[in-house]
Chain A
Amino acid sequence: MLMGLFNHWIVVVLMMIGLYIVIAHGNLIKKIVGLTIFQTSVFIFYISMAKVDGGTAPILMANVSQYANPLPHVLILTAIVVGIATTALALALTIRIKEAYNSIEEESIQEQNKKQASEPDELDPRSDPY
Chain B
Amino acid sequence: MALLVVIAIEVARLKDLFAVVMLTGIYGLVSASFFVVMDAVDVAFTEASVGAGISTLLMLVVISLTQRSEHPVRNRPFGALLVVMLTGGMLIYGTLDMPYMGAGDAPIHIHIAPRYLNDSMQEVGVVNVVTAVLASYRAFDTFGELVVIFTAGVGVSALLMTVGGRGEKKPMVAINDSMHKQQLILRIVSKMMLPFIMLFALYVQFHGDYGPGGGFQAGVIFAAAIILYTLLFGLTSARRVINQTVSQLVAAFGVLLYGSVGLVSLLNGGNFLDYNVLASNPISGQHLGILFIELGVGITVASVMITIFFNFAGRKELQKSTSEK
Which partner residue on chain A sits nearest B146 by CB separation?
A78
- A84 touching B2 by the CB < 8 A rule? no
Proximity bits, B217-249, A CB within 8 Å = 1, else 0: 001100000000000000000000000000000
Please tell me which one of the listed residues B11, B38, B127, B145 contacts residue A51 in the complex, with CB atoms under 8 A apart: B38
- Shortest beta-carbon distance, B287 to chain A, in Å? 15
Proximity bits, B87-113, A CB within 8 Å = 1, else 0: 110011001101011111010110011
- B98 touching A5 by the CB < 8 A rule? yes
Known A44-B31, A95-B315; contact A30-B70, beta-carbon cutoff 8 A: yes
What is the CA–CA distance of A47 and B153 in the complex, to the nearest angstrom? 27
- A73 touching B130 by the CB < 8 A rule? yes
Determine the chain A residues whose CB is within 8 A of the CB of B101 once the complex forms.
Answer: 3-8, 48-49, 51
Most chain A CB inside 10 Å of its own CB: which residue of B40, B92, B100, B120: B40
What is the CA–CA distance of A87 and B21 in the complex, to the nearest angstrom? 13
Q: Is A88 part of the binding interface, using a Cβ–Cβ cutoff of 8 Å?
A: yes
What is the CA–CA distance of A51 and B41 in the complex, to the nearest angstrom? 12
Q: How many residues of B contact A (CB 8 A)?
A: 101
Known A12-B92, A25-B70; contact A77-B84, beta-carbon cutoff 8 A: no
Which chain B residues numbered 274 to 325 have a C-beta less than 8 Å away from chain A?
Answer: 301, 304-305, 308, 311-312, 315
| Chain B contact residues: helix, strand, loop or mixed | helix
What is the CA–CA distance of A87 and B39 in the complex, to the nearest angstrom? 27
Which chain A residues numbered 44 to 58 have a C-beta less than 8 Å away from chain B?
Answer: 44, 47-58
Determine the chain A residues whose CB is within 8 A of the CB of B4 once the complex forms.
Answer: 10, 14, 44
Determine the chain B residues whose CB is within 8 A of the CB of A26 once the complex forms.
Answer: 70, 72-74
What is the CA–CA distance of A17 and B67 in the complex, to the nearest angstrom? 23
- B160 touching A92 by the CB < 8 A rule? yes
What is the CA–CA distance of A41 and B3 in the complex, to the nearest angstrom? 13
- B43 touching A76 by the CB < 8 A rule? yes
Known A85-B304, A87-B55; contact A55-B39, beta-carbon cutoff 8 A: yes
Determine the chain A residues whose CB is within 8 A of the CB of B1 once the complex forms.
Answer: 6-7, 10
- A29 touching B63 by the CB < 8 A rule? yes
Determine the chain A residues whose CB is within 8 A of the CB of B42 once the complex forms.
Answer: 73, 77
Determine the chain B residues whose CB is within 8 A of the CB of A24 once the complex forms.
Answer: 77, 80-81
Which partner residue on chain B sits nearest A96 by CB separation?
B159
- B159 touching A78 by the CB < 8 A rule? no
Please tell me which one of the listed residues B108, B132, B211 contacts residue A49 in the complex, with CB atoms under 8 A apart: B108
Determine the chain B residues whose CB is within 8 A of the CB of A108 once the complex forms.
Answer: 73
Which partner residue on chain B sits nearest A68 by CB separation?
B39
Determine the chain B residues whose CB is within 8 A of the CB of A34 once the complex forms.
Answer: 11-12
- A49 touching B70 by the CB < 8 A rule? no
Please tell me which one of the listed residues B31, B160, B216 contacts residue A43 in the complex, with CB atoms under 8 A apart: B31
Q: Is A120 part of the binding interface, using a Cβ–Cβ cutoff of 8 Å?
A: no
What is the CA–CA distance of A73 and B34 in the complex, to the nearest angstrom? 13
Going nearest first, the 7 A-B pairs with the smallest beta carbon separation are: A4-B100, A85-B152, A53-B102, A24-B80, A68-B39, A58-B129, A8-B95
Q: Provide a sorted-by-A list of 20 A–B residue pairs whose CB atoms are within 8 angstroms.
A: A10-B2, A20-B80, A32-B59, A37-B24, A50-B38, A68-B39, A69-B109, A70-B116, A78-B142, A82-B145, A82-B148, A83-B50, A86-B148, A87-B55, A92-B160, A92-B311, A93-B159, A95-B159, A95-B312, A107-B74
Chain B contacts to A: CB under 8 angstroms: 1-2, 4-5, 8-9, 11-12, 17, 20-21, 24, 27-28, 31, 34-35, 38-43, 46-47, 50-51, 54-55, 58-59, 62-63, 65-67, 70-74, 77, 80-81, 83-85, 87-88, 91-92, 95-96, 98, 100-104, 106, 108-109, 112-113, 116-117, 120-121, 127-130, 132-134, 138, 141-142, 145, 148-149, 152-153, 155-156, 159-160, 210-212, 214, 216, 219-220, 301, 304-305, 308, 311-312, 315
Known: A12-B88, A52-B104. 12 other contacts (CB 8 A): A14-B4, A15-B88, A21-B11, A33-B21, A50-B108, A55-B39, A60-B121, A70-B117, A72-B108, A84-B58, A92-B160, A98-B65
